[in-house]
Amino acid sequence: MTTFLLRRAVGAVWVVVGVAVTVFLILHLTGDPAAVMMPPDATTEQVAAFRHNQGFDRPLYVQFGSFAWNALRGDFGNSLRHGEPALGLALERFPASFELAISALLLAIVVAVPIGILAAVRRNSPVDLAARVFALIGQSAPVYWMGIMLILIFGVQLGWFPVSGIGGIRHLVLPTVTLALFTMAQLMRLTRASMLDVMQSDYLRTARAKGVAPLVVLWKHALRNAWLPVITVIGTELVTLFSQAVITETIYSWPGVARLAVQAIVDRDYPIVEVVVILAALAFVAINLLVDLLYASLDPRIRYE
């Protein structure tokens, strides 16, 4: 296990370094931040002074060296737009994004897994049909459209929930549902398919033949084996949720890191984009590692050496 963890840690370092180099190059090759940051009536001299002050007039490799050296010490520079340390600006928004993504994931699991199981057990029944229609809608409805619809129905018409901002649980409901729908549909289909697969296996037939109670067969034998692919997908879905949060955070004015990143990309605010992407890479590497460890704990056949 220690060897496995060490190997993964070294791999994680390479992933983050690769991401850092890529994001740096892409950002610096796709446009001049001075054109966006400086007011339109700024003179050529004022724009040149801005570039000089920010070090954008240095050769690219010098800029990268400076960026890498400072990043290693945890200094990603000041946001061009906010004039404050980029790392602090990103870190203070992560909790809101985390709150939204985890809530959406939990909601998706809580709804999708039981319905997926039910649909598998009652295959081709009206319940199964309803579940499949729901999954189809959840996966095909655009997040943007769904968000606006929920706002209009549950916010404006019924007045049940606030339509923007962060606060108590009432503020969390609509963005969570919006964000969770796609993952919910995905997990429901996967749980159903996985359960159907397991339920047709020989060991389940044997268990039934032995006279094991149906609920025990379902819970102890079928579900535990059907869980494995679902757990893997849950890990990757958390990553998907973070990326889909870009739209949800914008619609619901949720003060998360995705909204910050989008605005930073629009503004060519290099330090913020760099720090957000690197932090996201770190988070994703950690999530993947956690999923692998969880996989081993759920399936005794899997051992990491």
Partner 1 sequence: MFSRRFSLLAVAAFVLASTIGPGSPGPAGAADSTVTISQGVDPVTMDPLKRTITPTTNVHYALFDTLVRHDLSGKMIPWVATSWKRVSPTVWEYKLRHDVKFWNGDPLTSADVKFSVEKIKDPAEGSEQGPRVATVERIETPDPYTIRYITAKPTAMIAGYPWEVFIVSSKYWKEHGDDVGKSSGYEAEHPMGSGAFIFKSWRKDEQLVMDANANYWHGKPAIDHIVWKPIPEAASRVAALRTGETDLITNVPSQYQLQLAGGSKTRLKSARSVRVLFFAFNTLKPGPQQNKIVRQALNYAIDVPAIIRTVLGGRGYQVSSPLPTNFVGYSPKIPFYQHDLAKAKALLAQAGFPDGKGLEMVVNAPTGRYNKDKEVAEAIVGQLNATGGHFSTKIQEWTSYVNQTSSRALTPMYELGWGNDSYDADNTLTSLFTSDARLSTYANPALDKLVTDARYEPDVAKRQAIYDKALAIIHDEAPWLFLFEYEDLYASSKRLVWQARGDELIYCDDMKLQ
Residues numbered 157 to 186 that lie near partner 1 (CB under 8 A) are 159, 162-172
Q: Which of 200, 198, 243, 223 is nearest to 101 (CA)?
A: 243
x-marked contacts with partner 1 along 285-304 as a string, rule CB under 8 A: ------------x-------
Nearer to partner 1, 120 or 249 (CB): 249
Closest CA to 54 of 218, 46, 305: 46
Looking at 15, 42, 121, 231, which residue binds partner 1 (CB under 8 A)? Answer: 42
Compare residues 31 and 65 and give the one whose CB is closer to partner 1.
Answer: 31
CB 191 within 8 A of CB 117: yes
Using CB under 8 A, pick the residue from 53, 124, 140, 200 that binds partner 1.
Answer: 53
Please tell me whether residue 50 binds partner 1 under the rule CB under 8 A: yes
Q: Is 29 in the site for partner 1 (CB under 8 A)?
A: no
Task: Answer yes or no: are the C-beta atoms of 115 and 131 closer than 8 Å.
Answer: yes
Type of residue numbered 161: F
Instruction: Give the whole-angstrom CA distance, residue 193 versus residue 184.
Output: 14
Interaction of residue 78 with partner 1, rule CB under 8 A: yes
- Residue among 249, 251, 236, 214 at smallest CA distance from 285: 236
What would you measure as the largest C-alpha separation in the chain, in angstroms?
86
* Contacting residues toward partner 1, per CB under 8 A: 30-32, 34-44, 46-47, 49-50, 53-54, 78, 81-84, 89, 92-93, 99, 102-103, 106, 148, 151-152, 155-156, 159, 162-172, 250-253, 255-256, 259-260, 263, 265-268, 297
